[in-house]
């Protein structure tokens, strides 16, 4: 498993007139979480794209348990629990400063090339993933 924790401050731009963070922003926080998880694993998503491969989202899910509020410092925990193959799934949990679970969810992704066709993950990605998952 690969696991990463990232901290994100709730911006005023994220709030809505209910006084909470607007629900679509959690998906943005998921994106920040998975980017930082990849970075911490030695993989820059920006490098994948330069290699001609993108990782679009196939599916996104979020369960909202407690509202995030302006200026809170959130803790986003991202987990890649299984060795990615044609597709991959990342799980997320978002906590507030008092360690209360605010939201949990997941995204699934596939690899596509510049023409939008599904492709196998690039060699550098698979090699790196094997480092993390072979030990199990």
- Binding residues (CB under 8 A) for its own copies: these are 9, 11-13, 15-20, 22-25, 27-28, 31-32, 35, 44-46, 49, 54, 56-64, 67, 70-71, 107, 116
Which residues does residue 107 pair with via DSSP β-bridges, in sequence order? Answer: 60, 90
Query: Shortest Cβ distance from residue 85 to its own copies (Å)?
Result: 19
Closest CB to its own copies among residues 71, 131: 71
Is 96 a known active-site residue?
A: no
Closest CB to its own copies among residues 45, 133: 45
CA distance 8 to 94: 10
Closest CB to its own copies among residues 118, 130: 118
Going by C-alpha positions, the residue among 1, 27, 3 that lies closest to residue 78 is 3
Please name the residue that has the structure tokens 């994220």: 14
Residues 112 and 54: beta-carbon distance below 8 Å:
yes
Query: Shortest Cβ distance from residue 120 to its own copies (Å)?
Result: 19
Query: Shortest Cβ distance from residue 109 to its own copies (Å)?
Result: 10
The beta-strand segments (E) located in 1-136 are 2-9, 57-64, 73-80, 87-95, 101-110
Q: Which residues are catalytic?
A: 16
């Amino acid at each position: 498993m690969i696991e990463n924790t990232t901290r994100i401050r709730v911006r005023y731009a994220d709030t809505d007139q209910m006084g909470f963070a607007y629900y679509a922003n959690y998906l943005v926080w998921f994106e920040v979480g998975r980017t930082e998880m990849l970075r911490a694993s030695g993989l820059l998503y920006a490098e994948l794209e330069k290699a001609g491969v993108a990782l679009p989202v196939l599916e996104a899910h979020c369960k909202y348990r407690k509202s995030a509020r302006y200026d809170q410092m959130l803790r986003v925990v991202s987990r890649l629990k299984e060795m990615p193959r044609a597709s991959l799934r990342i799980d997320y949990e978002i906590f507030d400063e008092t360690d209360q679970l605010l939201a949990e969810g997941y995204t699934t992704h596939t690899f596509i090339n510049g023409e939008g066709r599904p492709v196998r993950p690039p060699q550098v990605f698979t090699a790196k993933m094997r480092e993390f998952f072979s030990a199990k």
